[in-house]
Amino acid sequence: MLELKKNTPRWVIVVFDLLIHLFALFFAYLIRFDLKADFSLIQTEWAILSKSIWYFIAIKLLVFAAFQIHQGIVRHTSTADFKRIFMAEICTSLLFILGSMVRFYQLDGLYLFPNSVLIMEFIFSTAFVIAGRFVVKLLYLEYTRDKGQEEAILIFGAGISGQLTKRLIEKDTANLQHVIGFIDDDAALQGKRIEGAKVYPLLALEKLQKKYQVSTLIIAVQNLERQKINTLAELALDLGMQIKRVPEARAWVNGAFEMRNLKKIDINSLLGRAVITLNNPQLEAHFTGKTVLVTGAAGSIGSGLATALLQHGVGQLILLDQAETALFELEQHFKQQTSTTFIEYAIGDICDQQRMRKLFEQYTPQIIFHAAAYKHVPLMETNPAEAIRNNIGGTQIMAQLAAEFGAGQFIMISTDKAVNPTNVMGASKRIAEMLVTTLNETQRTAYITTRFGNVLGSNGSVIPLFEKQIASGGPVTLTDERITRFFMTIPEACQLVLEAAVMGNGGEIFVFDMGSPIKILDLAKKMIQLSGLRPYADIDIKVTGLRPGEKLYEEVLATSENTIPTHHPQILIAKTRTTSPDQKKLINDLLAKASHQDNESSVGLMKQIVPEYISNNSLFQKLDK
């Protein structure tokens, strides 16, 4: 087997091809005489052929050298090589005809070879040379393939991508995978064979898995709908199969991809609803040439917004964050991009009024996206004064500076935890919403709020936590088996924010129709299965109990709120009650108490400002009336 893996000397291949051509010529003569030539006939023909045979050999060698037929490695012969062989054989036949004409008219009046022999020699030589390489390639693949237990593979999609995937798997000699067939929804293809593999309907998936112990389903359809991916993933995971996907065609190199490019379906693909997509042509006009400030720019939403804004041609982009390392990493990322936009990376705390004023004086932003906030519920439950100082006080500083320096828009990023809050973090965001809505009534700046649920893959969210726990062998921990959450992806969240900036006139709270909430227990199970493991068997799942302030179920809209539809069916406007003068005074008192780290009194004031704030599993339940 080791000898087969070495390159055969070129002279051996040349001699081999020459012998094939001589045999083809001999075979052509046999066919010409119906395999019945007697000795005298053979002598006559040989007398003519003996003067031509050296010309035959020389032409074959020269033409094959000119076409570089012997420069490639036989075991890796491709369709391009077959094409070159075919063209070389045509050229040799044409040269034989030309030589025959010269001999007949200029020398002894005889042809080099009979025309019928030339035709048959062309056919036999082409067929034998190509077949010889094909046989060598098959033998090499067979003898060099590892002989371990082969893994059964199914490919969804019998089109070009599916066929390329099958060839790639079979070409990899170190690969212990075997494609047993295609799955395809096209009834016209079902039951037929493509690339030697049978095409089955999706209904046959379970039967095939049991019969062949299929380990992996590879999705090889480009631009497949999310709902279809979700259905396939559910079926595959329930059958204990891994599910992978062929990369997008634009990621292929020279019309192909490598096995390492096959990627696992990530949890983002399994939201259970269609992706929310926005295509507002006004976005470009709204942001082109503008000076835009993004606070919390190094966070998941902030960096996503920065990326989206660069695509819409902003003139200046000011990225503000107090996390030095994260902002440095964002700077390095954008340095690798090609953009004409001026980008400033500013280190600073939104609660530092003097620093923020200096920033506004220097750049005078026209649009502010306020994404900076403390967001971790348990930490804010034990540090309420800091939640108030940052989420409320910092928002107030930024919102007032926006009005003072004549910004056109201030877009605040809020959360579904602000709806009927059960924790300090949610209540602080609700009060921040009230602040900016109130400012909208008295200032020329348009103050807009966007509110959405949990963001898949964001910093500190449940997805990265589960990934780390699975990678370390478990257990995966969740606080309650009943807990559910609304989810969206980072691109979806950023689209909402940008759309809100275009749609908003000021004073609105924009929310998504996010479909049905996802059960966190189901999310954990899917992530374990996507890793090729079994829940409870390979990776345990443990329930740790609700954390302080945590809800079982979250809402996007409070029951006392109404919604107004917009031009997009999945975007609504929440109408909230106005903030009373008493609440405005209480907010100022709240900020004063928080500055003295008076936690209990501060939370008590929050409950007065937000009457629907009822603590859950928290030390502050004693403050509820």
Instruction: Please give the positions annotated as active site.
Output: 417
φ and ψ at 571, to 5 degrees? -120, 130
Give the total residue count for the chain.
625
Helices and strands (H and E) in the chain: how many: 21, 22
Strand (E) or helix (H) holding 415: strand 409-415
- Please give the structure tokens belonging to residue 206: 């379970």
For residue 292, give the nearest of 193, 222, 206, 366 by alpha carbon.
366
> Distance between CA atoms of 60 and 23, rounded to whole angstroms?
13
| Angle at which helices 581-595 and 599-609 cross, to 10° | 170
Is the distance from CB of 169 to CB of 260 less than 8 angstroms? no
Dihedral sign (CA 329, 330, 331, 334): positive
β-pair partners for 181: 154
> Distance between CA atoms of 321 and 350, rounded to whole angstroms?
8
- Please give the structure tokens belonging to residue 595: 């500055």
Report the alpha-carbon angle 532-538-540, nearest 5.
Answer: 120
> Distance between CA atoms of 290 and 288, rounded to whole angstroms?
6
Report the alpha-carbon angle 558-560-563, nearest 5.
Answer: 75
> Distance between CA atoms of 161 and 224, rounded to whole angstroms?
12
- What radius of gyration, in Å, describes the C-alpha atoms of the chain? 36
Can you point out the beta strands (E) in 472-523?
476-478, 484-485, 487-488, 509-512, 518-519
Cα pseudo-dihedral 514, 520, 524, 527, rounded to 10? 0
Q: Which amino acid is at 384?
A: P
- Please give the structure tokens belonging to residue 585: 């005074």
Q: Give the CA distances from residue 428 to residues 59, 74, 379, 511, in Å, rounded to whole numbers and listed in that order.
A: 88, 71, 13, 18
> Distance between CA atoms of 375 and 424, rounded to whole angstroms?
10
Number of Cβ atoms within 10 Å of the Cβ of 159: 16
φ and ψ at 289, to 5 degrees? 80, -5
* DSSP secondary structure letters along 584-600: HHHHHHHHHHHHTT-HH
> Distance between CA atoms of 600 and 385, rounded to whole angstroms?
9
Return the SS3 of 532: coil
